[in-house]
Amino acid sequence: MRPVDLIVIGGSAGSLQVILALLAEMQALSMPLLIVLHRNGGFESTLEGLFATRTNLPIKEVEEKDILQPGTIYLCPADYHVLLEKDHTFSLDYSERVNYSRPSIDVTFRSAADVYGPGLVCVLLSGGNADGTEGLLYVKAKGGYTIAEDPATAEVPYMPQQAVSRKTVDVVVPTEDLPGFVEALSRYGIPG
């Protein structure tokens, strides 16, 4: 087993219930966890509050130059790409949309892989576009560990199916098993 330094979860349409179940499972974390969720700006304040009802861990929407803290769950703000810097701080970027999305899962996965390499775990959930697939390829190239929600059980299978068909994932996990699987990774580390 090798240690996990950061977990990044990317999701879009159909992923909210999986994220809520995962948060309920996460009662202790020795590393930060970052959630990249496609959403519109009007939903942002209620989302942070909703997440806080599912876990006793601190939930924080990312702000420019925040330092990643172990045991904290971070939520990407609506309408900004979120980048990670070598000094383990966040940067917010308002450049063009990637895969029709801002925040883009691809952008955050790539940025996290440059900083965390083999200590990175990235999880791609349900969604209706191909965001995340290129990012997972990059994460794998940097030695990170990649997971996709099983398209057969995902509410909107397109996004994880793109990743699975491109062979970008180390493991495909059924929806109902994802919370326990990610919690076990956070507790015990990456297999192999």
This prediction's pTM: 0.95
Given a contact cutoff of 8 angstroms between Cβ atoms, the answer to whether 110 and 98 are in contact is no
Compute the distance between CA of residue 93 and CA of residue 56 in angstroms, rounded to an integer: 29
Compute the distance between CA of residue 35 and CA of residue 93 in angstroms, rounded to an integer: 16
pLDDT single digits (tens) 65-122: 999 999 999 999 988 999 999 999 999 999 888 887 889 999 999 999 999 999 999 9
Which of these is catalytic: 5, 15, 38, 186?
Answer: 38
Q: Could you confirm whether 165 is annotated as catalytic?
A: no
What is the CATH number that goes with domain 6-188? 3.40.50.180
Query: Looking up tokens 């990175």, which residue turns up?
Result: 120
Domain range summary for the chain, segments of one domain joined by +? 6-188
Q: Could you confirm whether 12 is annotated as catalytic?
A: yes
Q: Could you confirm whether 177 is annotated as catalytic?
A: no
Q: Which residues contact 153 (CB under 8 A, 6 or more apart)?
A: 174, 175, 176
Which of these is catalytic: 66, 106, 131, 150?
Answer: 131
The per-residue pLDDT for 102 is 84
